[in-house]
Amino acid sequence: MAISYPRQIPNVPIKTARMGLNVNQSFFESSFSRHVSVQSHAGGTTDQWEGMITTAPLSPSQVSEMSAWLISLKGREKYFYAYDPDRRNPKGSASTASSNPVVNGGGQVGHSVQTSGWQAAVSNLLVAGDYFQIGEQYFMVMENVTSDGSGNATITFEPAIRNSLADQVAIIFNNPVLKARLVENVQPWESDEKRMSVISFAWEEVL
């Protein structure tokens, strides 16, 4: 059976996970005054999530699964779904049992979005540092989110929206993901005298 991409990361134990937003900007520092001028590019739409995952020691069978997965990505060619493994679900009170939020109004761009479909008049549905997904884009909440009496709420986030949003697109706050690729073409693994292996790989968001 043909492999379907983007792939899910295999369910193996993770020792460490590093993740951050690479802000696309340039700067100039005067050698005389030490004044720094910063220029952000493309309004933040080309800011890019990056990360690195290091597994806990893996058994031979887990190494087989993980190495086959890495090789199947064909270096930087194929894609997989990445995420922050420590924050798969929101710290806020949002629940799919009471909230099914969507984009409220098409054509929105920038660093905030008007939404509807939340549980009405609730504070801290999402809190700063929570992640959510709209379409294929992955965002981090910058300010706590509170709904009004009609279940409407504004979410402020980073990075900026890359493509204007269609109306009524779902806001995914449980297990959001982003599309990623490997940073390096070669992903080696090495076993110790107990035939246990630790595998690390760096990734970057596909823009």
List the domain boundaries for the chain.
Answer: 14-83+178-205, 102-165
Confidence (pLDDT) at 194: 77
Global pTM value: 0.90
- Tokens 């884009």 correspond to 137
**Encoded amino acid at 167, one letter:** D
Q: Average the pLDDT over each of 25-39, 59-73, 95-109, 140-154 and give the range with the smallest value.
A: 25-39
- β-strand pairing of 137-141 with 153-165: antiparallel
Element (DSSP H or E) covering residue 200: strand 200-205
Q: 3-class DSSP state for residue 202?
A: strand
pLDDT tens readout for residues 120-159: 999 999 999 999 999 999 999 999 999 999 999 999 999 9
Helix (H) or strand (E) holding 162: strand 153-165
